[in-house]
Amino acid sequence: MEETLTLKELFQALKKRLWLIALITVITATVSAVLTFFVLTPMYDVKTQLLVNQTKSEQQIYNTTELQANVQLINTYNVIIKSPTVLDKVRKNLNLERNADELNKQISVTSAEESQIVEIVVEDKSPEMAAKIANETAKVFKAEVSKVMNVDNVNILSKAVVKENINPVKPIPALNILIGIVIGLIISIATAFVLEFSDKSIKTEVDIEKYLDLPVMGVIANIEDIPVSSSRSSRVSNQASSRVRGESIGS
């Protein structure tokens, strides 16, 4: 028999197992909070800035075409900054135990559109180490690019420094807890629907009409449904009838 679910039935299913939804949501939010504050390692980021331009004498002036060439050159420099040639030297200079691939994952290179500024951003569990890696990367890149491309057009605009009371960039407690709540709601609501609509047992007369498509002619009350006063009066009436029958037989 084809069954259709109404919006009312869906809300009733959720209301019936509201305790389960709340329990699972609280558990997932708590687990997310514990992981955020006690398990996950805080990560900090520090950045240094480079200025890229073409070598010019003091008397020469930059025009639009030259600026465009500088911007295009930055795309090439972005690749060189994260190349093994640069990162291997950074790793050796700082005596880092991590390899070049691991160091590559910590470094991101960005540049604003139509800008000659390149930012080297480094993430690390230690903000001091992040600053050292950023500054050393900029220093090594500046030296290497002059050898590889035979140009000297990179200047360190600002060195990476660790600010006071620096906050970690991740994990973000509020975001992680919110994700935990959303995951908990999804899991709990799905569980509530599965439990509700996989249960085909007949509990009420409404279920008979719904699942068997049969009309309900009447309902037989349980013993618990009969009022106590009615039960007592019935026993008294039966006892009185017994006495009357006994007297009639004895006479």
In this structure, the answer to whether residues 135 and 55 fall within a common structural domain is yes
Domain assignment present for 89: yes
With a cut of 60, say whether residue 226 has pLDDT above it. Answer: no
Q: Which among 45, 40, 168 is positioned nearest to 105, based on CA atoms? A: 45
Domain assignment present for 178: no
Number of domains making up the chain? 2
Q: Give residue 144's domain range.
A: 44-158
List residues bridging with 111 in a β-sheet: 118
Give percent of the chain above pLDDT 70: 70
Per-residue tokens: 108: 């991101």
Q: Residue 210 — very low, low, confident or very high, per pLDDT cuts 50/70/90?
A: low
Q: Note the pLDDT of residue 245.
A: 46
* Average pLDDT of the chain to the nearest whole number: 81
Cβ-Cβ contacts under 8 Å for 167 (sequence gap 6 or more): none
Q: Residue 141 — very low, low, confident or very high, per pLDDT cuts 50/70/90?
A: very high
Per-residue tokens: 220: 């037989």
Per-residue tokens: 153: 């057009």
Per-residue tokens: 91: 């790793």
Among the candidates 158, 183, 213, a domain finishes at 158
Instruction: Burial-class residue 90 by CB neighbours within 10 Å (0-12, 13-18, 19+).
Output: buried
Per-residue tokens: 32: 């997310």
Instruction: Burial-class residue 27 by CB neighbours within 10 Å (0-12, 13-18, 19+).
Output: middle
Domain assignment present for 152: yes
The H or E element containing residue 108 is strand 107-111
Domain assignment present for 19: no
In this structure, the answer to whether residues 57 and 152 fall within a common structural domain is yes
In this structure, the answer to whether residues 124 and 65 fall within a common structural domain is yes
Cβ proximity of 64 and 166 under 8 Å: no
- CATH number for the domain that contains residue 141: 3.30.70.1130
Per-residue tokens: 35: 């992981």
Spatial distance between the Cα atoms of 216 and 100, rounded to a whole number of angstroms: 77
With a cut of 60, say whether residue 167 has pLDDT above it. Answer: yes
Residue pointed to by tokens 């690019």? 145
For the whole model, what pTM was predicted? 0.68
With a cut of 70, say whether residue 238 has pLDDT above it. Answer: no
Cβ proximity of 77 and 95 under 8 Å: no
